[in-house]
Structures are given as structure tokens and as C-alpha cells.
Amino acid sequence: MADHGHGPPQGIARWLTTTNHKDIGTMYLVFSLVMFLIGGTMALVIRAELFQPGLQLVDPSFFNQLTTVHALVMVFGAVMPATVGLANWMIPLQIGAADMALPRMNLFSFWLLAFAFLLLIATLFMPGGAPAAGWTLYPPLVLQSGKAFPMAIFAIHLMGASSIMGAINVIVTVVNMRTPGMTLLKMPLFSWSWLITAYLLIAVMPVFAGSVTMLLTDYYFHTSFFNAAGGGDPVLFQHLFWFFGHPEVYIMILPAFGIVSEIIPTFSRKPIFGYEAMVYAIASIAFLSFIVWAHHMFTVGMPLAGQLFFTLSTMLIAIPTGVKIFNWTATMWRGSITFEPPMLFALAFLFLFTIGGFSGLMLAIAPADFQYHDTYFVVAHFHYVLVPGAVFGIMAAVYYWLPKWTGHMYDMALAKWHFWLTAVFVNVLFFPQHFLGLAGMPRRIPDYATQFTDWNMISSIGAFGFGLSQLLFVWLIVRCVRGGERATAGVWDYQHGLEWTVPSPAPYHTFEKAPEIR
């Protein structure tokens, strides 16, 4: 029998063999931070190359590899693992469970992911280099990749398997392990958002795995799934990819919605406005994410009925999203608001994510999309959704729960510096890209016409400002882990939820006896 009174084993063995949800959550979060820095460095090389027209630093082929790997690293290595890390840490604490339901599979998911990224990043240094067709991996271009292509596809399969196992773990934990009295509609919104995200993952990651398997057989076994010369259709890949790819966007953003729904009530000192509407809005967004995929590919040509359907279904998403924005705003209405770092990031999320949402509505209009498609306008749009959207949500969560994890308060002044630098530079970085796109600058190119120079320079300055500001974040986290003012169990003035009933730092084992929920 295991002795449940023991602490963690010491040294490296702890991290290699742990099945504790807090340790695994920490590993996911640290992994995500490392990937954020690696993917960010790639972005800085891209922005340095684009600082002025002409070819300066890297050859065009390597530039294309960098855009591809930057995206894969940020999506699958930084944003998703960060939200999985938060899920590992916080879902058991929020629902009163002793651990995740399947702890060994949990550890396996993590190490599978780490191994996958070792393979993926290694392809950059192999003969022929990494895939260079963008993260969308469209054939036939992607089939012209070098000999490392199957390794990259293998890495993607491994990440998919890891994500599916992570999702299974979340669903089983939430469905089976809630403490007595914690009905689904009493569950904190972060756990809710992750439950729905996990269902999305199980529905779409296998589709992506299937699509890249077919790429592999086209590459090696001369099948013609996507080869027109053999009776196949390259557009089929785009349909399959975006049937995965659009829900994938929500896989990244829904946990951030959950996080913001935790933070705004705390710092407004009021319960969330319209809890049930928030749950139904997340579920509606998840459902709609399955029926909008072809808005990514209006320009391949489709019947008018198809254009109308995908335009209108996409616009429908604005309704549940609007419900959420309204409810967050209504939560703050007449609240006693203070502006601690988590609240600052949550508020910036509210404004800046909405900008990304609005440019998404512009792109959803099929005839207008013919102009915007494959321009920097699209790059600006999805970076607004993912950086001040998903990444700000994750940063807000780190600032919200870091005292609970480490037992120390962090340097508030430094965190506010980090916020303001990040919030200013993210706009300097991405807002000019709207102008570039509207003026006709295509995406995924290492060189451009001279009339695009000014806004590219400003965007690149923003990129370096943003990147360097993140060093403050790393420094702040390291300092907080190493010491600081002791955090209380409640940490903040107004708390809601079981995670604030356990001491800070949260003990290695929590809720071995199920807590009571009234």
C-alpha cells in the first residue's frame, strides 16, 4: 500500500516518475514557457528579416521553415500545454478531487509531448529541413519537404496522442471525481471550459491525425488522397485540416474564457453575472466551431450556397461570444474593482480579444475575404485572437494562481511593468499588420515591396519590445518560486471556489477526504 502521507521523492526522479497532478501541471507549465521562448525566438528571427525589404538574415527556404515551426511550436507546444498545465493544477483543486483520474496516463501524456517536440524541432537541423508549407501543411507544397518530413508528421501524431490522452483525463476527472454536492452547474467556469475543450479535442484531434496519415501515405506509398493526377483532390486536405483547425482555435481560447471568468469576479468582488448563460455560451461556441470550417478556404471556390452557409454560421459565433463579453462587463458593473496584475491581463484580454473577434467577422464575409485572404490582415487577426487572447489569458492565470502554487506573493510592481510593456508592445507588433494586409502584403514571405517598409519596421520594433518584456515575466516567476512574502490560503480579498480553502502553497496531497459542498 502506498503511504499517502509521504512528500515527493527528491531530485530528478521526482519529475521523471511523478503521478501527482500538481507536479505534472508544473512540468506542463514550465515546458510551455520554454516553448514560448523558443517559438518567440523564431518569431524574432522572422521579424528581424522583415524589418526591411530585401533578404538580410536567413534564406527564403529557412524563413518558410521558421514560419511553419514557429506556428506548430506556439500552438501545440506553448498555448495548449499551458492550458493543460493549468487544468492539471486547478481542476482537481476546483472540483475537490484528490488527483486526476488517470495519473499514470497523465505522466505519459506529458513525456510523449516533450519527446514529440524534440523530434519536431530537430527537423530544422536535418537534411532538407523542417516542413516549410506553413502549419496548415497544405499538399502538394508540403509533399515537397525534405527527408525529415515523416519525422515531423510522427511528431504531430505524438502530440495528437498526447492531447487526446490529456482530454480523456480531464473528462474522466470532471465526470467521475467531483466531490459530493459539486453538481455540474456548481462547477467553477474554468473547469467547465476545460470539460468542453476536452470534448472538442477528442472530436477533432483524430481527424488531424487521419489527415496527416494520408499525407504520409501520399508521400511514401504513392496513394492519391490529395494528388489530383491520381484522382485525388488537394482541396480535400483543406476541408479535413480546417474541420480540425477551426475547433483547434477554440481549444486554445475556451480555457482562456474560463480563466477570465474566474478572475473578473474576484477583482470586481462580485459573483459572475449569468453563470448558466456563460456555460451555455461556451457549449454553443464549441458546437458552432464544427460548422464553420470552410470560411478558411472561401478562395478555393465553392457554390454560393456554401459561401452563404459558412459566412452566416461564422457570424452566429458572435452571439454566444457577445453574451460572454456582456456578462464579463456586467460582472464588473458596480463592482468594487481593483487592478491587480491578473485583472489587468483579463481586462486587456477583453478589449484586445474583441479586436481579434471583429476582424474575424470581417474575414467571415466571403466577398471581402477574397481581398483579405492570405494577406497580413489574416496574420494580424489570428495573432490578436491568440496573443492578447489566449496568451494573455494564460498570463492572467499564472498571476492569479502563482501564489497558490508557490506559497509566495510576487512582485506586484514588476508584474504591472510586465503587463504595461506587454500590452503596449503587442499592439505595436500586431496592429500595423492590419494596414499591411489591407494594402496587399501577402503572408509567409521573407521579402516585400518597398511601400510596406514603414509598418513592417514598426511591427518588428514591437516584436522585439514584446519579446524582451517577456524576460521580466520569466524573472518574476523565478523570483516568486524562490521566495517572497508568504501568501495566505485565500490570497486575494474576495475568493470563490475550493482552491482557496487549501493552504498556500497547496500541499502535495489535497482533498484526500472529499470536501463538503453545500
Partner 1 sequence: MSQNARNLRLAIALGVTAAAVYLAFVLLRVLESGA
Say whether residue 472 binds partner 1 (CB under 8 A).
no
User: Which residues, 6 or more positions from 246, have their beta carbon under 8 angstroms from its beta carbon?
Assistant: 289, 290, 292, 293, 295, 296
User: Hey, what amino acid is at 135?
Assistant: W
Helix (H/G/I), strand (E/B), else coil: 375: strand
Of 223, 427, 488, 495, the residue at the interface with partner 1 (CB under 8 A) is 223
Catalytic residue selected from 163, 193, 266, 459: 163
Say whether residue 235 binds partner 1 (CB under 8 A).
no
Of 76, 194, 225, 425, the residue at the interface with partner 1 (CB under 8 A) is 225
The DSSP secondary structure of 245-285, one letter per residue, reads HHHHHHHHHHHHHHHHHHHHHHHHTSPPTTHHHHHHHHHHH
User: Which residues, 6 or more positions from 244, have their beta carbon under 8 angstroms from its beta carbon?
Assistant: 204, 205, 207, 208, 211
User: Which residues, 6 or more positions from 209, have their beta carbon under 8 angstroms from its beta carbon?
Assistant: 156, 157, 160, 161
| Active-site annotation holds for 248 | yes
Say whether residue 211 binds partner 1 (CB under 8 A).
yes
Residue 24 burial (CB count, 10 A): 26
- State in angstroms the smallest separation of the CB of 237 from partner 1: 11
- State in angstroms the smallest separation of the CB of 406 from partner 1: 30
Say whether residue 232 binds partner 1 (CB under 8 A).
yes
Catalytic residue selected from 70, 178, 383, 404: 70
Given a contact cutoff of 8 angstroms between Cβ atoms, the answer to whether 282 and 272 are in contact is no
Catalytic residue selected from 23, 49, 218, 248: 248
Output 227 or 427, the one with its CB closest to partner 1: 227
Piece of the chain touching partner 1 by CB under 8 A; list 172-180, 378-386, 426-434, 477-485: 172-180
Given a contact cutoff of 8 angstroms between Cβ atoms, the answer to whether 167 and 106 are in contact is no
Of 71, 164, 286, 396, the residue at the interface with partner 1 (CB under 8 A) is 164
Given a contact cutoff of 8 angstroms between Cβ atoms, the answer to whether 220 and 150 are in contact is yes
H or E segment and range at residue 51: none
| Active-site annotation holds for 99 | yes
Given a contact cutoff of 8 angstroms between Cβ atoms, the answer to whether 314 and 265 are in contact is no
Of 61, 213, 354, 371, the residue at the interface with partner 1 (CB under 8 A) is 213
Of 114, 214, 285, 423, the residue at the interface with partner 1 (CB under 8 A) is 214
The DSSP secondary structure of 465-517, one letter per residue, reads HHHHHHHHHHHHHHHHHH--SBPPSS-SSS--SGGGGS-SSPPSS--SSPPP-
| Active-site annotation holds for 408 | no
Given a contact cutoff of 8 angstroms between Cβ atoms, the answer to whether 99 and 92 are in contact is yes
Q: Which residues pair with 442 in a beta bridge?
A: 375
- State in angstroms the smallest separation of the CB of 330 from partner 1: 36
Helix (H/G/I), strand (E/B), else coil: 443: coil
The Cα–Cα gap between 198 and 171 comes to 6
Of 205, 272, 278, 436, the residue at the interface with partner 1 (CB under 8 A) is 205
User: Which residues, 6 or more positions from 269, have their beta carbon under 8 angstroms from its beta carbon?
Assistant: 335, 336, 337, 493, 494
How far from the centroid of its chain's Cα atoms is residue 214's Cα? 26
| Active-site annotation holds for 250 | yes
Q: Where are the alpha helices (DSSP H) in 96-188?
A: 103-122, 149-176
- State in angstroms the smallest separation of the CB of 376 from partner 1: 33
Say whether residue 171 binds partner 1 (CB under 8 A).
yes
| Active-site annotation holds for 333 | no
Piece of the chain touching partner 1 by CB under 8 A; list 166-174, 265-273, 324-332, 361-369: 166-174
| Active-site annotation holds for 70 | yes
Say whether residue 172 binds partner 1 (CB under 8 A).
yes
Of 1, 2, 3, 176, the residue at the interface with partner 1 (CB under 8 A) is 176
Catalytic residue selected from 178, 296, 404, 408: 296
The Cα–Cα gap between 390 and 380 comes to 14
| Active-site annotation holds for 261 | yes
- State in angstroms the smallest separation of the CB of 514 from partner 1: 11
| Active-site annotation holds for 135 | yes
The DSSP secondary structure of 380-401, one letter per residue, reads HHHHHHIIIIIIHHHHHHHHHH
Catalytic residue selected from 22, 324, 408, 434: 324
| Active-site annotation holds for 162 | yes
Sign of the torsion formed by the C-alpha atoms of 151, 41, 255 and 277:
negative
Output 211 or 456, the one with its CB closest to partner 1: 211
Looking at residues 238 to 297 of the shown chain, list those that interact with partner 1 (rule: CB under 8 A).
240
Say whether residue 367 binds partner 1 (CB under 8 A).
no
Of 5, 127, 231, 303, the residue at the interface with partner 1 (CB under 8 A) is 231
Say whether residue 414 binds partner 1 (CB under 8 A).
no
- Region of 365 (left: φ > 0; alpha: ψ -120 to 50; beta: rest) is beta
User: Hey, what amino acid is at 222?
Assistant: H
Helix (H/G/I), strand (E/B), else coil: 408: strand
| Active-site annotation holds for 289 | no
Catalytic residue selected from 67, 145, 261, 313: 261
| Active-site annotation holds for 293 | no
What x-and-dash track marks residues 98-117 binding partner 1 by CB under 8 A? ---xx--x------------
Say whether residue 463 binds partner 1 (CB under 8 A).
no
**Binding residue count for partner 1, defined by CB under 8 A:** 29
Output 173 or 460, the one with its CB closest to partner 1: 173
Of 13, 57, 175, 300, the residue at the interface with partner 1 (CB under 8 A) is 175
- State in angstroms the smallest separation of the CB of 168 from partner 1: 5
The Cα–Cα gap between 130 and 222 comes to 21
Say whether residue 177 binds partner 1 (CB under 8 A).
yes
Residues that bind partner 1 (CB under 8 A): 101-102, 105, 164, 167-169, 171-172, 175-177, 202-203, 205-207, 209-211, 213-214, 223-225, 231-232, 236, 240
Q: Which residues are catalytic?
A: 70, 99, 135, 162-163, 246, 248, 250, 261, 295-296, 321, 324, 443
